[in-house]
Structure 1
Amino acid sequence: MKVVKLDDIIGSDQHIDGGNWESRRLILKKDGMGYSVHDTVIKAGTETHIWYKNHLESVYCIEGEGEVETVKDGKIWPIKANELYALDEHDEHYLRANKGVDMRMVCVFNPAITGREVHDEDGAYKLVDDE
Structure 2
Amino acid sequence: MIVRRLDEIMNGERDVRAANGNWESRRLILNDDAVGFSLHDTVIHAGGETLLWYKHHIEAVYCIEGEGEVETTADGKVYPISAGTVYLLNGNERHWLRARTTMRMVCVFNPPVTGREDHDADGAYRPGAEYRS
Correspondence 1:79 to 2:81: yes
Number of aligned positions between the proteins: 128
- TM-score normalized by the length of structure 1: 0.95
CA-atom RMSD, angstroms?
A: 0.9
What residue is the counterpart of 1:66 in the other structure?
Answer: 68
State the shift of 1:120 in Å.
Answer: 0.7
Q: Within 1, Cα distance between the matches of 2:109 and 2:124?
A: 12
Q: Following superposition, which runs of at least 4 residues in structure 1 exceed 2 angstroms of deviation?
A: none
Matches of 1:129 and 1:56, distance apart in 2:
15
Corresponding residue for residue 118 of structure 2: 118
Task: Return the alpha-carbon distance in structure 2 between the equivalents of residues 77 and 129 of structure 1.
Answer: 32
Q: Which residue of the partner structure matches residue 30 of structure 1?
A: 32
* TM-score, normalisation: structure 2: 0.94
Give the distance between the partners of 2:128 and 2:69, measured in 1 at CA. 29
For structure 2, list consecutive stretches of 5 or more residues without a partner in the other structure: none
C-alpha separation in 2, matches of 1:119 and 1:113: 12
Q: Is the 8 A contact 2:45 2:99 kept in 1?
A: yes
Letter in 2 for 1:29: N
Aligned pairs for 1:82-101 within 5 A:
82-98=84-100, 101=101
Percent identical residues = 59
Instruction: Quote how far apart the aligned CAs of 1:128 are.
Output: 2.5
- Offset from partner CA, 1:57-104 (integer Å, 9 cap, x none): 000000001000000100000000011000000000000000xx3100
CA distance in 1, matches of 2:102, 2:92: 24
CA distance in 2, matches of 1:107, 1:23: 9
Deviation of the 1:12 alpha carbon: 0.6
